[in-house]
Amino acid sequence: SSASTAIMCFTRGLDLRKNTEDVICPANCPAWQFYVFGDGVYASLSSICGAAIHRGVITNTGGAVRVQTLPGQESYPAVNANGIQSQALSRWASSFSVTRIKNTALEAVGRSVSTARPSTGKRPKKLLDKKAGNKDCKADIAFLIDGSYNIGHRRFNLQKNFVGKVAVMLGIGTEGPHVGVVQASEHPKIEFYLKNFTAAKDVLFAIKELGFRGGNSNTGKALKHTAQKFFSLENGARKGIPKIIVVFLDGWPSDDIEEAGIVAREFGVNVFIVSVAKPTTEELGMVQDIGFVDKAVCRNNGFFSYQMPTWFGTTKYVKPLVQKLCSHEQMLCSKTCYNSVNIGFLIDGSSSVGESNFRLVLEFISNVAKAFEISDIGSKIAAVQFTYDQRTEFSFTDYTTKEKVLSAIRNIRYMSGGTATGDAISFTTRNVFGPIKDGPNKNFLIVLTDGQSYDDVRGPAAAAQKAGITVFSVGIAWAPLDDLKDMASEPRDTHSFFTREFTGLEQMVPDLIRGICKDFLDSKQ
């Protein structure tokens, strides 16, 4: 009995050194300190005392437990027993079992040991919340780790430790942050995607298993690759959630990183750079571009760059980095022209258009709308049809998914009648843009017409522009060029389009989308 070791509530099987060891668990351990994986045979990253209570070897009053080391296995089951919910784990390298020790003297010692560490009094966390994760930190994050000869094996492992700690503190879960890892080396390698794991334990295991690749760091190449390929919907990126790349850099990049930073910003990705061991004065001569950090980050405002002197003793740097990554409102690069605009279409429904040409107009509108990320927190679409009269087909708040918007466009019925374009612009400015004028998105109005308006268009268009709406005019067939120019925002040449035939609308789609994006970016500068 003298050989028994007093352990903590959170001591894990893998913390023990012997194959068979007798330990004493303290009393009143708070349930939130128990991470338990399996049933009867427990993964060695489980808490010993948690496993012992789960197995019924002891109760929460503590006591003596014999721990036997066992080989690893596949599929540890999740079982609820004795008030503890164990979790499933697909595989682990080693296991242990727990059995009772019949010795009342030990039990008494167990109790006296336990009083040395009073209960923290924290409320046990709900198990459900652990699965959902930290809902206050919604972000899709790629950790771009340095796997070059620059960092070497030893520091590579320290880097993995640090990334693991950040991942755990973020509170990964189905409704919280999702993370993936890309390794920068001679050629970038996506190690795992956002969709692969939604539990911290699985992410930790995956990070632990990463192998060192070596080669040049080629950070620019890896950053560009990650911005372009990593955040697709099929790889697990979520709509309307900030996209973040955290670049870990040991020393300095071996290639150009500026162009990669531009690409990332175009894709709406927020780039952070965590630089470790900055170049010394002697080394600066080897650095291609001394200002590499400022050129790669989302904004050169200090928020997106982070420095650590070395890979040793990095624990104190975990929390401040996590706080940055969870600051939703600071993610200035999340907004792109695709997810931050309101586009209102003003559609000529006059008699001269005709039913079949009207369908071509609707097809044109659908093709423009398709390019944008439509959601309750993203871009929005509205449509008004006009003759002498106006009819709001749907407003900005009616549909918040692309599917529903496209379906609503298909269902617009042709009115037929005269042409009062000026009146229609005033109606749309007031009734469609009016209710959302204080929103965060940039406002665009696309006027489509095939003929001369019976009323003045210049005054209403000027009023719309004064209300913060950028106007593009699209004329077909008999639409007078003077009217188109009068309606369009400055510079008028790039904001007005014309085609002789309705079939020519199709070719204008890319130019119109490009025009919207150019205006959006210009407004942000």
| Segment 198-223, tens digit of pLDDT | 899 999 999 999 999 998 889 999 99
Q: If you average pLDDT over residues 451-455, what whole number do you get?
A: 95
Residue 349 pLDDT grade (very low, low, confident, very high; cuts 50, 70, 90): very high
Instruction: Please report the pLDDT score of residue 42 as a whole number.
Output: 94
Which is it for strands 41-43 and 38-39: parallel, antiparallel or unpaired?
antiparallel
Could you list the residue range(s) of the whole structural domain that residue 313 is in? 140-330
DSSP-derived 3-state class of residue 16: coil
Final residue of a structural domain among 100, 131, 151:
100
Q: Are residues 302 and 449 in the same domain?
A: no
pLDDT band for 112, please (50, 70, 90 cuts): very low
pLDDT band at 285 (very low <50, low <70, confident <90, very high): low
- Check pLDDT > 80 for residue 102: no
| Chain mean pLDDT for the chain | 88
315 lies in the same domain as 360: no
| Amino acid residing at 45 | L
383 or 252, which is more confident?
383
Residue 292 lies in a domain: yes
Contacts (Cβ under 8 Å, ≥6 apart) of 210: 145, 160, 181, 183, 191
Asked if 87 and 158 sit in the same domain, the reply is no
Q: Tell me the per-residue pLDDT of 305-335, one tens digit each, with 9 for 90 and over.
A: 988 989 988 889 999 999 999 987 778 788 7
31-58: pLDDT as tens digits: 666 788 999 999 988 899 999 999 999 9
pLDDT of 1 strictly over 50: no
State whether 309 and 350 are in the same domain. no
Assign residue 55 the CATH number of its domain. 2.170.130.20
Question: Token pair for residue 226?
Answer: 């990650």
Domain count, the chain: 3
Is 466 inside a domain boundary?
yes
| Residue 270 in this model has a pLDDT that exceeds 60 | yes
Boundary of a domain, candidates 300, 330, 360? 330
* 222 and 312 inside one domain: yes
Final residue in a domain of this structure, among 274, 298, 330: 330
Higher pLDDT, 98 or 4: 98
Task: Tell whether 129 is covered by a domain.
Answer: no
Whole-number pLDDT of residue 115? 34
Place of tokens 């009053």: 61
Return the percentage of the chain with pLDDT > 70, whole number. Answer: 91
Higher-confidence position of 475 and 85: 475
For 68-82, 136-150, 191-205, 326-340, which range has the lowest pLDDT when averaged over its residues? 326-340
9 domain residue, yes or no: yes
CA contacts within 13 A on the Cβ side of 197: 22
> Residues of the chain with pLDDT > 90: what percent?
57
Interior/surface letters 477-491, b for 16+ CB within 10 angstroms, e for the rest: bebeeebbbbbbbee
Q: What is the pLDDT of residue 289?
A: 67
Mean pLDDT calculated for residue range 372-387: 91
- Domain annotation covers residue 135: no
Using an 8 Å Cβ cutoff, are 48 and 62 in contact? no
- Of 29-33, 52-56, 259-263, 427-431, give the lowest mean pLDDT range: 29-33
Same domain for 400 and 477, yes or no, is yes
Pair (168, 52) in one structural domain = no
Query: Parallel, antiparallel, or unpaired: how do β-strands 89-100 and 305-308 relate?
Result: unpaired
Widest CA span in the chain:
102
Residue 236's CATH number:
3.40.50.410
Report the C-alpha gap between 520 and 488 in whole angstroms. 16
Q: Under a CB-based contact definition with an 8 Å cutoff, are residues 180 and 226 in contact?
A: no
CB atoms within 10 A of CB 327: 13
- Find, among 435, 437, 431, the residue nearest to 393 by Cα: 431
What SS3 class is residue 215?
Answer: coil
In a domain, 107, yes or no: no
- Same-domain pairing of 303 and 253: yes
In this structure, the answer to whether residues 359 and 299 fall within a common structural domain is: no
The contacts of residue 198 (CB under 8 Å, 6+ apart) are 133, 172, 173, 174, 178
Per-residue confidence band for 283, with pLDDT thresholds at 50, 70 and 90:
low
Based on the domain organization, do 361 and 476 belong to the same domain? yes
Mean pLDDT value of segment 94-111: 66
> Is pLDDT above 70 for 282?
no
Residue 152 has pLDDT above 50, yes or no: yes
Residues with Cβ < 8 Å from 295, sequence gap 6 or more? Answer: 257, 258, 261, 289
- Asked if pLDDT for residue 360 goes beyond 80, the answer is yes
Q: Tell whether 322 and 359 lie within a shared domain.
A: no
- Domain-embedded: residue 133: no
- Give the residue among 442, 486, 481 at the shortest CA–CA distance from 463: 486
In a domain, 422, yes or no: yes
From the list 251, 255, 245, the residue with the least C-alpha distance to 179 is 245
- Are 353 and 228 within one domain? no
